[in-house]
Structure 1
């Protein structure tokens, strides 16, 4: 996942990952869904756009849209609200 923010008018990119390279039968290795939720909450609270890179394709979405795709929208929305100190 790539996060970007504007710093002094420049886009600054930062790569974030769960660190998982293992093959699994399900979507995530145990515990890695929690790591991804935390990354999405941090991205949403910080107002960062999320870029998912897969092979040669880059998909850009806001954190809540990514969470909705994974059926985590409610819990990520709550975390973003807490992360922003309850401000919208």
Structure 2
């Protein structure tokens, strides 16, 4: 029986020290509560173009300067709480 590999979500911020790690943990927790299997990978915005092809989705706290084939959600919702439910629904929709 083949099992589907978890989808990868790149989570980007300016320096990949704290913010992207925090947001990545929030996203993984929320998706796990919904029974969705995804792996979040914190990274810097500068790393995104080189890593985009491995991801199903990119969530960033700042603008990504390049056009990419991978869908991008730019949001501060996981930091502020404002609009978080809407962003979670967007993420779920991209992973479905």
Higher relative contact order (CA 8 A, sep 6+): 2
Higher percent of residues as helix: 2
**TM-score computed with the length of structure 2 as normaliser:** 0.27
Question: Which entry has the higher C-alpha Rg, 1 or 2?
Answer: 1
**TM-score computed with the length of structure 1 as normaliser:** 0.29
Higher percent of residues as strand: 1
